[in-house]
Structure 1
Amino acid sequence: MWLFLTILLAVSHHALGTNPGLESVITQKALEYAKQVGASLAQEQLGGLAIPDITGSISIFPFGKVDYSLSGMHVVDFNLPEPEVGFAEEAGVKIGISGMSVAIHGTWRDRYHLIRDSGSFDLAVYGLTVSVLVGVGSDSTGHLIVSSANCDASVADLEVTLHGSTRWLYKPFTNKIKDLAHKQLNRKLCPMISEYIDGLEPLLQKINVSYQYDPYVVFEFPLIHPPAIGTSNMEFDCKGEFYSVEHRKEFPFTPELFQLHDQNHMVSVGLSQSSANSAGFAYHSAGVLWIRLTDSMIPKVSPIRLNTTSFESFVPELPKRYPDMLMLVDLFSSQQPLITFQPDNVTAQAFGSAKVYVILPNATLVPVFVLDICVSFSAKLFMSGLKLTGSMTLNNVSLNLASSELGPFQTKSMENVIRAGIHLVVLPKVNAKLKRGIPLPATPKVSLVNPVLKVNQGFVMLATDISYSP
């Protein structure tokens, strides 16, 4: 039972808006798999399981008080029927085991006045039945919480066989031990189960509800309300928003409402368009979306160099004022990038400004003009095994002169060069990486089985089965 509950929790493991940015759903199929894993682990670990010693005294008519101890107890055999698991609507997860039997062997000792005796014993428990409702909710920090909402447990019968030399005390002592064990088991089973479930709380509190992706951005995914529990699945609605570590700002848009409908896989996870865009907002807020381009960074095969002579065809006035001098470009985001999810397609737009400088012989930087740039891409994303693959194409490039120290000039020819550079240099590198595939993040002991990625209107969904390796 304990192991099964642990596996169940491992499998289900995911200004606040009313809609989630990240949503996860586990289905009955996941519970059935958790049941199999839990039963398998129980088969491995229940055999030889040690049981705490029991000491006490009992009154046996007509002898009076007899002190006893039961020690060295361990499970030597057991029969574990297949558990029943399911969702209890608006409550939690129900777990039932019926007809379990356990065989235990140990050592007994007794003392009656000056008489002492000892031996071994065998205890057989029959018809062990347990029915538990595990309540599932969330706390104020967005962590998952569980509780024993209801429990019913009983032992139908048991047998005790003592092996020893106290013949005259044998039968009454055996009967007393049997009655005592029967009452204790029926009385303590549910408190033991509740204690175990309550003991999971510190473990759940240790599960992170935020992940620092890199030094600049953190992804936060606390539950925004208790899980929604239906008759065939459980839904976890999480915040799912990226933040700048140094310059925390709330994303100014509420996530779009979306719903995961996949019931064929154990687990499905959906990320909203707004959640994805909050990443661009976070990076833009952090001020890290910029790069300084120098001539040494331009591929040697490029006919266009970052010097005033090479730019004569674009800006005729430039080499006249600054003949044969190197240039550099500070390229930075002017607003957050925008991502759009449409059926089977992802569109990304990047907005930036390019501030162009001439490097004087004394290394002084002289600003000469500023360009506004907008680039749009489309991407197709797929799953290949356990890797994210796909391809990217260029939709459009627009270039406009924002300001100039050299007077006005046309930017169309420069725009064509940038477009050609993206086609010839940028896209081949990006598509080569996408073709090789990007491995999905690994989770210890849990691997994905036949994952499927689907881009929908306003959100992207990953549906998968899982495999647990202890």
Structure 2
Amino acid sequence: MLPLYLFTYFLVIFGYMETVKAKSPGSKAMITNNGLKYVKEKSPGFKTRITSNGFNYANRVAMDTLVANIRTFSVPDQHGESGSFQYDLTNLRVTGFTEPQSSILILPGAGLKWTANGAGVSMHGNFRYTFRKRWLPTIRGSGTFDISVYGLDFSINMIFGVDVNGRPTIAASGCSCGIYRVKIKFHGRWAWLYNLFSRLVENRVRKILINKICDIVTKQINEDMEKKLASLPVTIKIFGHFLLDYRLLQVPTFQSSYMETFHKGEISWLGDEREAPFQPHTLADIGDTQKMMYLWISDYMFNTLGYAAQMHNYLVLNITAADLPPNQRGILNTTCTSFLCFGNLIPQLQKNFPNSTVELNLFSGRPPTMNITPGELKVNCSGKIVLYARQNDKNRTYVMSTMATMETTVNVSVSNERVHGKINGIMLLLNVTDSAVGPINSRFIQILINSVLKAVLIPKINEFGNKGFPLPVTGKIRFVNTSLRLLKHTMVIETDLKYMG
């Protein structure tokens, strides 16, 4: 992905094109880049597709950048001689540039080629000359000149790679440049004489421009784009304690109308990057190529988040009256002023712990799991809820324990280059496993705890969902005309792109 910054995907995600054809994403492959080795051992949790439409847009942005560079570059002063004639060209500057017809071509199984045809350049500068012949007096003169260049073409290949850390690389290869015609016209008192030597200067200018164009294009790829790729985040800190891993698993593959990249797509605890003990499902396949870019996100990514959180005891929550909105805090009272209240629905609490408040300790029993099916996203979790009574003397007394399972549906959306989620509804099932106050009506305790969770837990989860998962793009790329599809174990984001540079 390129500024991700020929633009777009060079801009955004990228990988590497070797002369060897990449193996299918499900296989194990050893990839060697400049002596570095990177092993792909499992299916991706995240995949991208950049289409021909995306590269066409990247080409427009890249060409705008190239045109701006050419219009501002300065040519070093030049000195030349032929026999008795010596000349100097100084203060050369570009006065006009005709944009070429250009394209970024996908080379199936190979990489990308950037080509441009029919560019024109106009230049202006100063000259001075000296003519010496042993039997003639030395002749000197100076003036100005204008140069017109027609039919300037160039072609360059782009080679994508993956370094040992799964970070993308890009390199230029095989730049060629040609010029159909160069015409120079001198201005000054002896212009007719100067123009006798125009062919010498035209050949010199042709050589300068051919070298300069390849230098500019190669620099744009090898330095500008490579620098921006090197700054792309392949691991991103999220939610304060977790690390989102977008490292590449292999070199990208190139088909006739798109390039695809394959990424780890896993979330771990910050400082503990052990992998989850389960594998991603095969990502659902779609053949669409109308949008500029497609992103596949496996439910594996979110399930690794749940696993890391569970392994580090992150999924623990204590709920007190202070956590509820002021108008709902009465739910936790044992002496009640409203019907929906622990003291009313569980009379033992009102009798044994009058004028007290109930506190809930929630513990996840196993990692929560997400399951994406066509058109629907569900999250399942289970754990233990322990209730205590907090009395006026601040002592806390154990009341009961219940095992809980919860299933929730989640609405997902994409904005600001992040995936956001919001809980749509929950289904809670409780089973009282222990009670210090005698038999408990499971139906009543479920009503009460369900009300508390809706007031406290769900808003906390939605707060995380509102922050969203960052997608691997830089700040200069914006998603436009974006849509989202839910398929089997897969979330697919379809979008066009806009470069804000």
TM superposition score normalised by structure 1: 0.84
Q: In the TM superposition, what is the alpha-carbon distance from 1:338 to its structure 2 partner?
A: 1.1
Structure 1 CA distance for aligned equivalents of residues 157 and 417 of structure 2: 35
Aligned twin of 1:201: 226
Q: In the TM superposition, what is the alpha-carbon distance from 1:275 to its structure 2 partner?
A: 0.8
Structure 2 CA distance for aligned equivalents of residues 224 and 444 of structure 1: 24
The equivalences for 1:249-288 within 5 A come to 249-258=274-283, 259-288=285-314
Q: In the TM superposition, what is the alpha-carbon distance from 1:196 to its structure 2 partner?
A: 3.8
Q: In the TM superposition, what is the alpha-carbon distance from 1:106 to its structure 2 partner?
A: 1.2
Aligned twin of 2:6: 6
Q: Percent identity?
A: 22
User: Out of 374, 389, 392, which is 1:343 matched to?
Assistant: 374
Aligned twin of 2:101: 82
User: Out of 123, 130, 137, which is 2:154 matched to?
Assistant: 130
> 2:5 touches 2:228 (CA, 8 Å); kept in 1?
no
> 1:90 touches 1:229 (CA, 8 Å); kept in 2?
yes
User: Out of 236, 253, 256, which is 1:211 matched to?
Assistant: 236
> 1:4 touches 1:34 (CA, 8 Å); kept in 2?
no
Q: Is 1:304 aligned to 2:331, yes or no?
A: yes
Bigger CA drift: 412-421 or 229-238?
412-421
> 1:83 touches 1:97 (CA, 8 Å); kept in 2?
yes
> 2:244 touches 2:267 (CA, 8 Å); kept in 1?
yes
| Structure 1, gaps ≥5 residues long | none
Aligned twin of 2:78: 55
Aligned twin of 2:400: 369
Q: In the TM superposition, what is the alpha-carbon distance from 1:463 to its structure 2 partner?
A: 0.1
When residues 397 and 228 of structure 1 are mapped into structure 2, their CA distance, relative to the original with a 3 A threshold, is same
Aligned twin of 1:108: 127
> 1:331 touches 1:352 (CA, 8 Å); kept in 2?
yes
> 2:363 touches 2:383 (CA, 8 Å); kept in 1?
yes
SS at match of 2:101: coil
TM superposition score normalised by structure 2: 0.80
Q: Is 1:20 aligned to 2:44, yes or no?
A: yes
Q: In the TM superposition, what is the alpha-carbon distance from 1:154 to its structure 2 partner?
A: 1.2
Bigger CA drift: 294-303 or 122-131?
294-303
SS at match of 2:56: helix
Q: Which amino acid aligns with 1:69?
A: D
Bigger CA drift: 265-274 or 368-377?
368-377
Aligned twin of 2:135: none
Q: In the TM superposition, what is the alpha-carbon distance from 1:306 to its structure 2 partner?
A: 4.0
Q: Which amino acid aligns with 2:374?
A: P
Q: Which amino acid aligns with 1:270?
A: W
When residues 121 and 167 of structure 1 are mapped into structure 2, their CA distance, relative to the original with a 3 A threshold, is closer
Structure 1 CA distance for aligned equivalents of residues 315 and 4 of structure 2: 47
> 2:344 touches 2:350 (CA, 8 Å); kept in 1?
no
SS at match of 1:304: helix
Structure 1 CA distance for aligned equivalents of residues 274 and 417 of structure 2: 34
> 2:355 touches 2:391 (CA, 8 Å); kept in 1?
no
Aligned twin of 2:62: 38
Bigger CA drift: 177-186 or 399-408?
399-408
| Structure 2, gaps ≥5 residues long | 15-38, 133-137
Summarize deviations over 1:234-283 as a string: whole Å, max 9, x none.
10111111111154432221111113432111011111011121122233
SS at match of 2:6: helix
Q: In the TM superposition, what is the alpha-carbon distance from 1:396 to its structure 2 partner?
A: 2.4
Structure 2 CA distance for aligned equivalents of residues 166 and 139 of structure 1: 60
Q: Which amino acid aligns with 2:387?
A: V
> 1:216 touches 1:286 (CA, 8 Å); kept in 2?
no
Summarize deviations over 1:85-123 as a string: whole Å, max 9, x none.
220112211121122221111112334577653221111
When residues 287 and 229 of structure 1 are mapped into structure 2, their CA distance, relative to the original with a 3 A threshold, is same
SS at match of 1:131: strand
Summarize deviations over 1:35-70 as a string: whole Å, max 9, x none.
2333445555644x2323223332x23x16x2x432
Aligned twin of 1:233: 258
Q: Which amino acid aligns with 2:90?
A: S
Q: Which has the higher contact order (CA 8 A, sep 6+)?
A: 2
Structure 1 CA distance for aligned equivalents of residues 146 and 408 of structure 2: 73
Aligned twin of 1:149: 173
Structure 1 CA distance for aligned equivalents of residues 141 and 408 of structure 2: 85
SS at match of 1:444: coil
> 2:9 touches 2:54 (CA, 8 Å); kept in 1?
no
Aligned twin of 1:178: 202
Aligned twin of 1:359: 390
> 2:4 touches 2:232 (CA, 8 Å); kept in 1?
no
> 1:20 touches 1:224 (CA, 8 Å); kept in 2?
yes
SS at match of 2:365: strand
Structure 2 CA distance for aligned equivalents of residues 121 and 324 of structure 1: 98
When residues 191 and 205 of structure 1 are mapped into structure 2, their CA distance, relative to the original with a 3 A threshold, is same
Bigger CA drift: 441-450 or 7-16?
7-16
Q: Which amino acid aligns with 2:227?
A: P
Number of aligned residues = 462
Aligned twin of 2:319: 293
CA RMSD of aligned residues (A): 3.8
Bigger CA drift: 49-58 or 7-16?
7-16
SS at match of 2:367: strand
Q: Which amino acid aligns with 1:50?
A: F
When residues 180 and 247 of structure 1 are mapped into structure 2, their CA distance, relative to the original with a 3 A threshold, is closer
Aligned twin of 1:398: 429
SS at match of 1:141: coil
User: Out of 88, 91, 100, which is 1:72 matched to?
Assistant: 91
Q: In the TM superposition, what is the alpha-carbon distance from 1:332 to its structure 2 partner?
A: 2.9
Q: In the TM superposition, what is the alpha-carbon distance from 1:23 to its structure 2 partner?
A: 0.8
When residues 419 and 311 of structure 1 are mapped into structure 2, their CA distance, relative to the original with a 3 A threshold, is closer
User: Out of 451, 454, 458, which is 2:485 matched to?
Assistant: 454
Structure 2 CA distance for aligned equivalents of residues 151 and 103 of structure 1: 22
Summarize deviations over 1:273-325 as a string: whole Å, max 9, x none.
11121122233334333322113334535663243886456666555554543
